[in-house]
A and B are shown apart, each in its own frame.
Chain A
Amino acid sequence: MNTFTALIKREMLDGKNGYIRVPAILAALSVFLVVVSTIGFGATIEFDDVIKDHGTVRNFGEALDVAANSEKGDRELPAAITLSYWVMGGISWVALPFVVFFSLLSALYEERRDRSILFWKSMPVADWQEVLAKLITPVLVAPAIFLGVAIAAQLLVAIFLSVVVLFQGGPVLELWPLGTMFGTWFVAISYYAISTFWVLPLLAWVLFVSAYASRLPFMWAVLPPVVIAAVEGLLFESTNFLQWIGVHLGGWQEGAFGRINVDIDGPSDLLDLIFGGVQLDALTYTLASGQFWVGLLIAAGFVYGAIELRKRAI
């Protein structure tokens, strides 16, 4: 286990730009934007004439007070605040797919290109351990870091807004719907886990390419699927292959969530929907899907192939 931890650490060190700097910078940027827009554009703090209907509301603190005491406040406010934290602290997610893709693509390619594979192979570490570490780091560890950074950004935004509201004499505690916040974090984890297992055959393909390509790994990763899709289109005039890829990339949600009657009226409805059964729906749909299991088998095949290629690589 010690060895595996060391391998994960090494992968983190190797990819620290993508795994740590990118999400940290993006999160810092979103927090910065929140701070600047709050302080810089007085409208958010000092409403003055902006909101005509609520003549008594002069700033954010008072607006929060009004919202908390309104008819639907108990229900809607925690949800609204939690969701806005996700928006305000959350743009780093955009980068995650790129980080995962390019980490996998270079995983077993760069070490051959720069010959460091000869050093790694002089250590008592089995090839399957190396390959698994290079799969797990981008696929599991990187998202965990991205989530951690997103959570940290949400907390920073919450702390900042608390200070603002504190000065304005508003109800600070309303800004900390901790139960709802924790809930969304766990939902994010479970949603990501299911999505990851769906997309695993594609990720494993990229890892396999990085073990196989002697040069131009990007072309090797992208061209064969394009060619297969084109050949299928020309010969059979169908798009089954692209549809298959689409389902694994996220299209499976249509099947999983298609039956859900979406009638969202306000943020709490959205959260209720997310908490109440959608995750379970996703799980049961996934476990019952033949395509899902076939995808996992294909993924296992590519990972096995990557290990065998790593054994022979110098």
Chain B
Amino acid sequence: MTEYVIEANHLAKSFGDFKALKGATFQVPLGRILGVIGANGAGKTTMLNAILGLSSFEGELKVLGLDPSKDRDKLMQDVCFIADVATLPKWMKVSEVFDYVEAVHPKFDRAKAMDFLSRTNVPLDRKVRALSKGMTVQVHLAVVMSIDAKLLVLDEPTLGLDIIFRKQFYQSLLEEYFDEERTVIITTHQVEEVEHILSDVMFIKGGDVVLEAEMDELTQRFIEVLVTPGKEEEALKLGPIAKGSTFGKSTCVYKDIDRETLAKLGETRRLGLADIFVATMTGEA
């Protein structure tokens, strides 16, 4: 039996007349790195807030077997998150942040956090207020990476960081943090940077989960064809979900059509996650 970290059944949330989430149903198993991808206002944050016990919701939702709206404090023993940039208390020194987390969180490993921090230029006795945006994120990441949690939720974790640190961060997330006993959920607009570490993706649009798939499977389902001139009509008959043109040749994106059939139309290639997202959002729906 698969152990699920998150089980959502018709998860919904409205703000007045506006339905931010329209009854999403999904499961997230243990040992995955899930990328939640959607345009601004698609409902990502609303969904994550419900999962993290930060807001109420309708429908059924179990995270590690608990109801997040009732048991946030218990849940936080095994769940860790960075919900927004710069949420660390500005009046605290970095060392005092560590002191506090060490005192309230039984699963925090201070030595590990110090190790993460030693790879940065962040001074321990500086107040968070006096740190740059990037340094603040580094401190926060050092904290969450040093907590032995089952679920880590990162909402735009690397916003404001330079590319070198971003690469390093995703690498250490994969190599030092992630294992089959943990699940990581990441939302980001910089899809290219995370797609190689994701095991699963979820696309959200207008409050609905429009696609949920494993990464390997997904990249095989979407194929782009550089249509050989003269075969355009044939190509259109197969029902591409998106059309375009490059270098004077038309391109078509297909979903769930086998590669051999498509190879007859022209040169085929796999789509990147960002392109799949755009094709799904603009084409099908």
Contacts and interface: CB of A to CB of B under 8 A. Distances in A.
Nearest to B70: A311
Contacts of B104: 2-3, 6-7, 123-125
B56 A312 contact: yes
Interface string B88-104: 11111000100011011
Interface string A114-146: 111111111111110100000000000000000
For chain B, the bracket of interface size reads 20 to 34
Nearest to B108: A123
Contacts, number: 75
A6 B103 contact: yes
Contact of B90 (A114, A120, A121, A122): A114
Contacts of B144: 122
B77 A116 contact: no
B105 A124 contact: yes
Interface stretch (A9-17, A50-58, A90-98): A9-17
Nearest to B79: A122
Most chain B beta-carbon neighbours within 10 Å: one of A7, A114, A120: A114
Interface residues of A, number: 28
B235 interface: no
A178 interface: no
A5 interface: yes
Contacts of A117: 87
A131 to B, nearest CB: 12
Interface string A75-98: 000000000000000000000000
Interface in A1-59: 2-3, 5-7, 9-10, 13-14
B89 A124 contact: no
A127 B80 CA distance: 17
Contacts of A9: 100, 103
A121 B89 CA distance: 12
B103 A115 contact: no
Contacts of A119: 87-89, 140
Contacts of B75: 124
A122 B49 contact: no
6 contacts: A6-B103, A13-B92, A116-B90, A122-B76, A123-B105, A124-B74
